[in-house]
Amino acid sequence: MILLGSTGSIGVNVLNIARVFNLNIDTLVAGNNYKLLNKQIEEFKPKRVIVKDKFTAEKVNFGNIKYSEKEILNAIEESKSDTIINALVGSAGIRPTLKTKELNKKLALANKESLVMAGKFIDMKDIVPIDSEHFGLWYLNSGRKIDSMTITASGGALRDYPLEKIESATLSDVLKHPNWSMGNKITIDSATMVNKIFELLEAKWLFGVEKIDAIIETKSIIHSMINFVDGSTTAHIAESDMRLPIAFALLGEVDKQITSFVDWEEIASLEFRKIDKNRYPIWEIKDKLLNKPELGVVINSANEIANKRFREGKISFIEISKFILGIFNEYENMKINSIDDIFMIDKEITQKYGDKNA
């Protein structure tokens, strides 16, 4: 396989599965974490290694080390490997996704931005999602006629905050996720519910469903549900362990226990909550986005700027959603006709509203 993003949390779990099932690694692609990458090279002995920049390349223990996006695309094209795991972060993952699809190779996709920003121009055939919610929908999709799909949300760090106190929430407050530990950006995206907006867009592209929504499930045991036309509902229930979707993405079928079973006596009860627009203002545009999902690029670009500003202490928590909604209103009627339009809009928003204008 070719593993894009080997030193991130998804990449590390991919290599955990590769170790258990003795899978070969053709290419490792990483960012700046050369210390971990050197350990991965020593253990898995890949044929190719590619990093983000020349500075990092000089610190990697590999004979023919390469760097740049161009080299990633070359590796995808030149390698005999038919499986690409795209766990890159951000818009850097889009062109590798497009190249993989162009070559008709299997894509195990953990790069959210590929579908959020460019789903309109990506063939969904042979894409296996590496994400708890979308893996759950894939797992449940039995071929019976579907009425609608539902994914679940944790609610983020501020789900139990009094509404009147959210305005004064600090970065420290927002990073205290109730269920698990994640990176700062994704934890903030969970608190604003932007992350769930993105996941709805991903599901829209992946499964082609007209009716899809989200609901808060506070214990994060149920990941997704499918409602069938006969009135029945099935739910995907599992411990939150990324090794499970990764194993299916790599192996196709799994006949070995990957994660522990849910202990129902310990769980005892489940709680569901509606996603309240007063607590999560971004939810105001959920339906508009699902009706015109190609505008995901606008939300992603705006969120990159607002999330970063909040982390740097330049805006308050509630201003994240206000900023995104303002830019969405500006671009709501934009026509997006090509992949070049996607990159143009992303660049325009970044240049117009990015750090130099902060």
130 within 8 A of 150, measured Cβ to Cβ? no
pLDDT at 357: 47
H/E segment holding residue 9: helix 9-21
Cα separation, 284 vs 86, whole angstroms: 31
Cα separation, 86 vs 114, whole angstroms: 9
pLDDT at 354: 85
92 within 8 A of 71, measured Cβ to Cβ? no
Among residues 56, 63, 74, which one has the least CA distance to residue 2? 74
Residue 151 DSSP code: E
H/E segment holding residue 153: strand 146-153
Q: Return per-residue pLDDT of the chain as tens, 358 residues.
A: 999 999 998 999 999 999 999 999 999 999 999 999 999 999 999 999 999 999 999 999 999 999 999 999 999 999 999 999 999 988 889 999 999 999 999 999 999 999 999 999 999 988 999 989 999 999 999 889 999 999 999 999 999 999 999 989 999 999 988 777 778 888 999 999 999 999 999 999 999 998 999 999 999 999 999 999 999 999 999 988 889 999 999 988 888 899 999 999 999 999 999 999 999 999 999 999 999 999 999 999 999 999 999 999 999 999 999 999 999 999 999 999 999 999 999 999 999 998 754 4
CATH code, 2-129? 3.40.50.720
Among residues 338, 327, 252, 244, which one has the least CA distance to residue 289? 327
pLDDT at 177: 83
pLDDT at 199: 96
Please enumerate in sequence order all residues whose Cβ is within 8 A of that of 94, keeping only pairs 6 or more positions apart, or say none.
111, 113, 114, 117, 118, 342
Neighbour order of strands in the sheet with 233-237: 233-237, 222-228, 146-153, 212-217, 272-273
To the question of pTM greater than 0.85 for the whole model, the response is yes
pLDDT at 356: 59
pLDDT at 255: 87
Residue-range domain boundaries for the chain:
2-129, 133-238+263-357
